[in-house]
Amino acid sequence: MISDGVEDEEKWLTAGIAGLQQNAFYMHRALDSNNIKDALKYSAQMLSELRTSRLSPHKYYELYMRAFDELRKLEIFFKEESNRSCSIIELYELVQHAGNILPRLYLLCTVGSVYIRSKEAPAKDILKDLVEMCRGIQHPLRGLFLRSYLSQVSRDKLPDIGSEYEGDENTVMDAVEFVLQNFTEMNKLWVRMQHQGPAREKEKREKERNELRDLVGKNLHVLSQIEGIDLELYRDVVLPRVLEQVVNCKDDLAQYYLMDCIIQVFPDEYHLQTLETLLGACPQLQPSVDIKTVLSGLMERLSNYAASSTEVLPEFVQVEAFAKLNNAIGQVIEAQADMPVFGAVALYSSLLTFTLHVHPDRLDYVDQILGACVSKIAGKGKLEAKATKQIVALLSAPLEKYNDIDTALKLSNYPLVMEYLDDRTNKVMSNVIIQSIMKNKTHISTADKVGALFELIKGLIKDLDANNDDEMDEDDFKEEQNSVARLIQMLYNNDPEEMLKLVRRVQSQDDNVTEEETASATPKKIFQILNQTIETLSTVPVPDLALRLYLECAEDSKAQVTALYLIIGTLQRMHTFGVENRDTLTHKATGYSAKLLKKPDQCRAVYACSHLFWVEDQDGVKDVLLCLKRALRIANAAQQMANVAKGSSGSVMLFIEILNKYLYFFEKGNTQITVASIQGLIELVTTEMQSDTSTSDPAADAFLASTIRYIQSQKDKGGATGEKFEAIKV
Amino acid sequence: MYGARRILTHNGDELVVFCWCFAMSLRRRTLLKVIVLGDSGVGKTSLMNQYVHKKFSQQYKATIGADFVTKELQIDDRLVTLQIWDTAGQERFQSLGVAFYRGADCCVLVYDVNVMRSFDTLDTWHEEFLKQCFQANPSDPSTFPFILLGNKIDIDGGNSRVVRSRYAHSVSEKKAREWCAAKGNIPYFETSAKEDHNVDASFLSIARTAMANEHEQDIFLQNTKKIQQNRIEKRELEIRGGKKEIAGGTYENEHDDIYLYEDVLLPDISRESLRLYKKQSNEVVVHVNHTKE
């Protein structure tokens, strides 16, 4: 037979409600005619609907609520009645004539609450009687609801401090005992529920048990609202008794839920003062209990408490909260060998949040936590996604707290934790770090810090995992690179020396910056660095940008010259470009060289460019000569200008330099550089030096002499070189 | 005061109307059910504790499940018992569902004026309440009375709200009032449970609102066995204060203490066609339209 459970249940609920309402109707009639006997009869019949076993907790609760509402009207009647014809004591006896136990007990609780209110008997006696009588119901679902009813109707009649029911022999202890007993009984019913019924319905039963949990937890809420429970009473009686029940029931659902309840319903001050007791229970719980969530909840609460007012902070120090929590976490991790890595990290993450709130000055605590984390994740191999997510949370917390990367950089274990992140997560974390820096406009002011920082975010700078073939989205990559680039703005120090170190550190973090190099922050060094920057930029296929950027930077002509030399030098050493790109770059460089402000500068830069055309296996032979001739033309022009201007000339030097270039390419085997052209050049130089107009220049003399000497020495070498040079007459 | 208390339908085509117009003596109590909803930590329990017990605790203690406290008060000439249901703001402490919403006369929404989020979630609480409460009830949800309380106005040394609302995290009174206007002119109060500011006044307003709504929830329809007596063929039935002949019987209720009831069978009445209008405080009209489905 196939039956639809849900539909059936709906039917049963409807039938239950119908029966309940019909009897309630007659009950009302009886109440309206002051007919106690009928009123009790119909109310008992009405309550009999609660004897069903067919409803799930949710549906049963619906039925219960209807009965509950009706009972309120009955209660009002009892209240009024007891002032009239029938004494409350009589009523208390009368309701016990109900034939069935469940209706009887509901009625008893209802009258009982009126009884307490009448104060004709001590509250504690009635409460005790009621809580004992309820033992009569051992069916878990029905028992739980009945006891929850008892809890509800007695709630405002507990002999709490300041309550009208307190005094004489009624003390707050009676209230505590009553609630604790009800709690204990309810928990037993609740735990026992799982063992009832066939094994195949276990899952359903667990679901139903879970739905019923608040009925049990409610008792703890009632306890927390009893004003007479001061710290002492809580520490000495309430907490130990509750924990005893929690630990001894050996049921993971109950343990998890009730621990959570304890943490949530009782005030923070109490938790702080009883940390040891509370935490002491944790390792005693079943291994399958999700303690990390429980402890995280506790730490979160305490963190919020600490954040609420600085006045409470000394309390934390006084009770050594950090040490106790840290210790408890260690024990729990040890006790629960199966705890997944993310669980442990989550615990440490909560502890970290706690520490940041409570002990913002204790960086050592933070480092200690990170260290503990490292030892937890070390050797676990690849971490699961959940764990890495937790680690990101863990690493983000100090950044958010201190708003200052400096502080995080001081944490020695911070980079160690980052080591355990996979490539992707590492990048995510690196971005978090950069964003934090940008948001807080933190200046990274020393080379060491830069080093540490770049070590942290190396995921964005280097390809960490060479085997990673994940196709990366280009936009993502750009975004990443942009964020790193933005970071450069935050590297700053007023002191040029330090700034230089810092920039050098950015350039290559692997190189150890030697003392010599950092001796002085000369412009040359800075240009070298910029050169490297441009070098890097040139690898991006926008070389124009690289050059223009640089020329914009270099404002004066001197700087331009230096810059161009660097550019030329760089280009010469780079072999990454295709023919076309290379041509563009080379011609641009030559073009820029020829546009320099001073002729000699133009000349030197242009002949330097000749090297760019001289590429092995490429057809640059002709271009080299063209370039050198262009340099010669500029040298001529320079010479003429000098003649016009002062009659003196430094331009001979240029010629000698160009001669040297000729010799260099001649020697390298450039066929366009002929012996004749060299010969011509030597004569030109010699003529020039002997002319009247020129003043003697010892440097030029020496340069020429050594150039000649060089030619001679090549001749003397003999062999192919000797032969080649033999043709040159000097 | 008269009330049509019980109407039971049978099998769709026959309806038994149990009517007894009982005179509500001045001594008799009115029970008003009020549900308090809102995010965790906005101060629902604190407001109740302040109102009912005149006490306040700074400590945060989560509420588990739902339960109520009662408070008796005199409104005009009526003695009213407010049954105020405190609820868990944290969802995980509401494992049994919200069956206790049933029969509510008024819903009190609470938010923390210093926490934007608690204001943002009001929509959810509002909707959820109506959804749960009216899924089986055809009466118009838009008329159900709500009240909004903006709690914790004491925080920040009682600085003026204007100043504080400059911060993004706090909610300006203007914004709250706009929200209330959009929801059908919900009354709004700003309170401090801690300093007992506006607490009595707002709960008094809650009681009045609930009373004005005093629902006709006692009328319900259900299927039971056919009752073959007192069949009437009248197309319309009206019950008013004073004398009225119904189904061959008469009843009168000119005296406060007299009540009586009649079993009446009406043919061909669909559930939806039955409506109850409650007019003034001392007159109840049961209006039955005989339209076939």
How high is the pLDDT of residue B103? 85
Token couple for B209: 């609102």
How is residue B137 annotated by DSSP?
-
How high is the pLDDT of residue A541? 57
Q: State what percent of residues in chain A have pLDDT above 70.
A: 88
Q: How far apart are CA B16 and CA B8, in angstroms?
A: 5
Q: How far is A289 from chain B (nearest CA, A)?
A: 17
* Interchain CB contact of B11 with A (< 8 Å): no
How high is the pLDDT of residue A514? 41
Q: Is the pLDDT of residue A553 over 70?
A: no
How high is the pLDDT of residue A619? 66
Contact B31 A76 (CB under 8 A): yes
Three-state SS at A669: coil
Residues B156 and B19 in one domain: no
Q: How far apart are CA A710 and CA A506, in angstroms?
A: 43
Mean local confidence (pLDDT), B173-198: 92
* Interchain CB contact of B88 with A (< 8 Å): yes
Tell which phi-psi region holds residue B41, choosing left (phi > 0), alpha (psi between -120 and 50) or beta: left
How high is the pLDDT of residue A537? 60
Per-residue confidence band for A723, with pLDDT thresholds at 50, 70 and 90: confident
Residues B274 and B245 in one domain: yes
Strand B78-87 and strand B30-38: pairing?
Answer: parallel
**Contact A70/A24 with Cβ under 8 angstroms?**
yes
Residues of A in contact with B40 (CB under 8 A): none
pLDDT in tens, B210-224: 887 764 433 333 333
| H or E stretch at B276 | strand B274-278
How high is the pLDDT of residue A182? 97
B271 lies in a domain? yes
Give the nearest partner residue to B93 out of A62, A66, A214, using CB atoms.
A214
Residue of A20, A78, A265, A304 for testing the chain B interface, max B β-carbons within 10 Å: A265
Mean local confidence (pLDDT), A211-234: 95
Q: State what percent of residues in chain A have pLDDT above 90.
A: 33
Q: Which amino acid is it at A21?
A: Q
pLDDT in tens, A533-545: 666 665 655 556 6
B14 lies in a domain? yes
Tell which phi-psi region holds residue B185, choosing left (phi > 0), alpha (psi between -120 and 50) or beta: left
Q: How far apart are CA A471 and CA B271, in angstroms?
A: 64
ipTM: 0.72
What residue ranges in A66-159 does DSSP mark as E strands? none
Residue of A42, A72, A234 for testing the chain B interface, max B β-carbons within 10 Å: A72
Residues B116 and B91 in one domain: yes
* Interchain CB contact of B134 with A (< 8 Å): no
Three-state SS at B72: strand
Which among A173, A182, A172, A208 is positioned nearest to A193, based on CA atoms?
A: A208
Which among A384, A382, A356, A386 is positioned nearest to A368, based on CA atoms?
A: A356
Contact B95 A212 (CB under 8 A): yes
- The more confident residue out of A393 and B85 is B85
Contacts 24+ apart (CB under 8 A), B182-186: B183/B126, B183/B146, B184/B142, B184/B143, B186/B109, B186/B146, B186/B147, B186/B148
**Contact A553/A530 with Cβ under 8 angstroms?**
yes
Q: What range defines the domain where residue B228 resides? A: 6-26+219-288
Strand B66-75 and strand B78-87: pairing?
Answer: antiparallel
Q: Which amino acid is it at B195?
A: E
Residues B177 and B86 in one domain: yes
Which residues share a beta bridge with A444? A491
Query: Any idea which of A151-160, A272-281, A407-416 has the lowest mean pLDDT?
Result: A407-416
pLDDT in tens, A662-689: 888 888 888 888 888 888 888 888 887 7
Interface list for A 62-101 with B (CB within 8 A)? 62, 64-66, 69, 72-73, 76
Q: How far is A416 from chain B (nearest CA, A)?
A: 37
In 3-state terms chain A splits into helix, strand, coil percentages (rounded to 5) of 75, 0, 25
**Contact A641/A598 with Cβ under 8 angstroms?**
no
Q: State what percent of residues in chain B have pLDDT above 90.
A: 36
Contacts 24+ apart (CB under 8 A), B214-217: B214/B30, B214/B32, B214/B105, B214/B278, B215/B103, B215/B105, B216/B4, B216/B276, B216/B278, B217/B103
Contact A29 B261 (CB under 8 A): yes
Residues B201 and B71 in one domain: yes
* Interchain CB contact of B55 with A (< 8 Å): yes
Angle between helices A719-726 and A651-668 in degrees, nearest 10: 140
Residue of A61, A73, A164, A305 for testing the chain B interface, max B β-carbons within 10 Å: A61
Q: Which residues contact A689 (CB under 8 A, 6 or more apart)?
A: A652, A697, A700, A701, A704
Measured in degrees and rounded to the nearest 5, phi and psi for residue A537 equal -65, -35
Residues of A in contact with B103 (CB under 8 A): 69
Q: Is the pLDDT of residue A442 over 90?
A: no
**Contact A451/A507 with Cβ under 8 angstroms?**
no
Mean local confidence (pLDDT), A355-364: 88
Residues B190 and B242 in one domain: no
Residues B178 and B256 in one domain: no
Q: Is the pLDDT of residue A336 over 70?
A: yes
In 3-state terms chain B splits into helix, strand, coil percentages (rounded to 5) of 25, 30, 50
Q: Is the pLDDT of residue A162 over 60?
A: yes
In DSSP notation, A418-474 reads: HHTS-HHHHHHHHHHHHHHHHHHT--B-SHHHHHHHHHHTHHHHS-S-TT--PPPPH
Residues of B in contact with A265 (CB under 8 A): 61-64
**Contact A271/A298 with Cβ under 8 angstroms?**
yes
How high is the pLDDT of residue A63? 96
- The more confident residue out of A546 and A559 is A559
In sign, the C-alpha dihedral spanning A531, A537, A538, A544 is negative
How is residue A167 annotated by DSSP?
B
Give the nearest partner residue to A62 out of B31, B63, B99, using CB atoms.
B99
How high is the pLDDT of residue B29? 61
C-alpha R_g of chain B: 22
For residue B6, what is the nearest residue in chain A, using CA coordinates?
A: A25
Distance of CA A228 to the CA centre of its chain: 43
* Interchain CB contact of A206 with B (< 8 Å): no
Mean local confidence (pLDDT), A261-286: 94
- The more confident residue out of A241 and B8 is A241
Per-residue confidence band for B136, with pLDDT thresholds at 50, 70 and 90: low
| H or E stretch at A27 | helix A5-32
pLDDT in tens, A387-414: 888 888 888 888 888 877 777 788 888 8
Residue of B31, B45, B61 for testing the chain A interface, max A β-carbons within 10 Å: B61
Q: Which of B170, B186, B212 is the last residue before a domain boundary?
A: B212
Query: Any idea which of A15-19, A574-578, B163-167 has the lowest mean pLDDT?
Result: B163-167
Give the nearest partner residue to B63 out of A73, A213, A221, using CB atoms.
A221
> What is the pLDDT of chain A when averaged over all its residues?
84
- The more confident residue out of B272 and A296 is A296
Q: How far apart are CA A136 and CA A132, in angstroms?
A: 8
Q: CATH number of the domain that B149 lies in?
A: 3.40.50.300
Q: Is the pLDDT of residue A133 over 50?
A: yes
Residues B121 and B168 in one domain: yes
Contact A58 B97 (CB under 8 A): yes
* Interchain CB contact of B102 with A (< 8 Å): yes
**Contact A255/A213 with Cβ under 8 angstroms?**
no
Residues of B in contact with A147 (CB under 8 A): none
Interface list for A 212-271 with B (CB within 8 A)? 212-215, 217-218, 220-221, 224-225, 227, 260-261, 264-269
Mean local confidence (pLDDT), B83-108: 91
* Interchain CB contact of B224 with A (< 8 Å): yes
**Contact A411/A371 with Cβ under 8 angstroms?**
no
Q: How far apart are CA B272 and CA B258, in angstroms?
A: 31
Residues of A in contact with B68 (CB under 8 A): 152
Query: Any idea which of A30-44, A241-255, A664-678 has the lowest mean pLDDT?
Result: A664-678
Contact A214 B64 (CB under 8 A): yes
Q: How far is A165 from chain B (nearest CA, A)?
A: 14
Which among A165, A77, A178 is positioned nearest to A121, based on CA atoms?
A: A165
Q: How far is B99 from chain A (nearest CA, A)?
A: 5
B106 lies in a domain? yes
Q: How far, CA to CA in Å, does A313 sit from each of A143, A270, A309, A321, A531?
A: 44, 14, 8, 10, 54
B48 lies in a domain? yes
Q: How far is A331 from chain B (nearest CA, A)?
A: 27
Which residues share a beta bridge with B30? B80
Query: Any idea which of A68-77, A82-91, B177-186 has the lowest mean pLDDT?
Result: A82-91
pLDDT in tens, A364-379: 999 999 998 888 887 7
Q: How far apart are CA A384 and CA A390, in angstroms?
A: 10
Token couple for A333: 């991790």
Q: How far, CA to CA in Å, does B252 sit from each of A538, A723, B23, B247, B282?
A: 104, 145, 11, 14, 14
Contact A69 B63 (CB under 8 A): no
Q: How far apart are CA B21 and CA B250, in angstroms?
A: 12
Q: Which of B168, B194, B212 is the last residue before a domain boundary?
A: B212
How high is the pLDDT of residue B12? 35
Q: Is the pLDDT of residue B144 over 90?
A: no
- The more confident residue out of A64 and A491 is A64
Residues B133 and B252 in one domain: no
B113 lies in a domain? yes
Give the nearest partner residue to A69 out of B93, B103, B261, using CB atoms.
B103
Mean local confidence (pLDDT), A697-704: 83
For residue A152, what is the nearest residue in chain B, using CA coordinates?
A: B67
Our CA angle for A202, A204, A205, nearest 5°, is 60
In DSSP notation, A381-421 reads: -SPPHHHHHHHHHHHHHHHHHH--HHHHHT-TTHHHHHHTS
Our CA angle for A637, A642, A646, nearest 5°, is 160
Query: Any idea which of A49-53, A499-503, B62-66 has the lowest mean pLDDT?
Result: A499-503
pLDDT in tens, B2-60: 333 334 333 333 333 433 333 333 335 678 999 999 999 999 999 999 999 999 998 99
Residues B20 and B38 in one domain: no
Q: Determine how many CB atoms are found less than 10 A away from the CB of residue A466.
A: 7
Residues of B in contact with A162 (CB under 8 A): 55
pLDDT in tens, A480-523: 777 777 777 777 777 767 777 777 676 664 444 343 444 455 55
Considering its fold, how many domains does chain B have in total? Answer: 2
The full 3-state SS of B242-269, as one line of letters, equals CCEEECCEEECCCCCCCCCEEEEEEECC
Residues B190 and B225 in one domain: no
Strand B249-251 and strand B244-246: pairing?
Answer: antiparallel
Chain A to chain B Cβ contacts (< 8 Å): 100
Contact B55 A162 (CB under 8 A): yes
Q: How far is B178 from chain A (nearest CA, A)?
A: 31
Which residues share a beta bridge with B84? B34, B69
Which residues share a beta bridge with B20? B261
Residues B186 and B242 in one domain: no
Q: Which amino acid is it at A236?
A: D
* Interchain CB contact of B96 with A (< 8 Å): yes
Q: Is the pLDDT of residue B268 over 50?
A: no
Q: Highest-confidence range of A6-10, A576-580, A618-622, B196-200, by mean pLDDT?
A: B196-200
Q: Is the pLDDT of residue B263 over 50?
A: no
Tell which phi-psi region holds residue A647, choosing left (phi > 0), alpha (psi between -120 and 50) or beta: left
**Contact A126/A170 with Cβ under 8 angstroms?**
no
How high is the pLDDT of residue B245? 35
Residues of B in contact with A267 (CB under 8 A): 57, 59-61
Q: Which residues contact B146 (CB under 8 A, 6 or more apart)?
A: B106, B107, B108, B109, B126, B183, B186
List chain A domain ranges. 1-119, 122-266, 422-465+472-520, 522-597, 624-730
**Contact A682/A656 with Cβ under 8 angstroms?**
no
Q: Is the pLDDT of residue A240 over 90?
A: yes
Q: How far, CA to CA in Å, does A717 sit from each of A26, A317, A704, A712, A722?
A: 132, 86, 20, 9, 5
Q: How far is B189 from chain A (nearest CA, A)?
A: 26
How high is the pLDDT of residue A71? 94
Mean local confidence (pLDDT), A26-33: 86
B110 lies in a domain? yes
Q: How far apart are CA A209 and CA A246, in angstroms?
A: 16
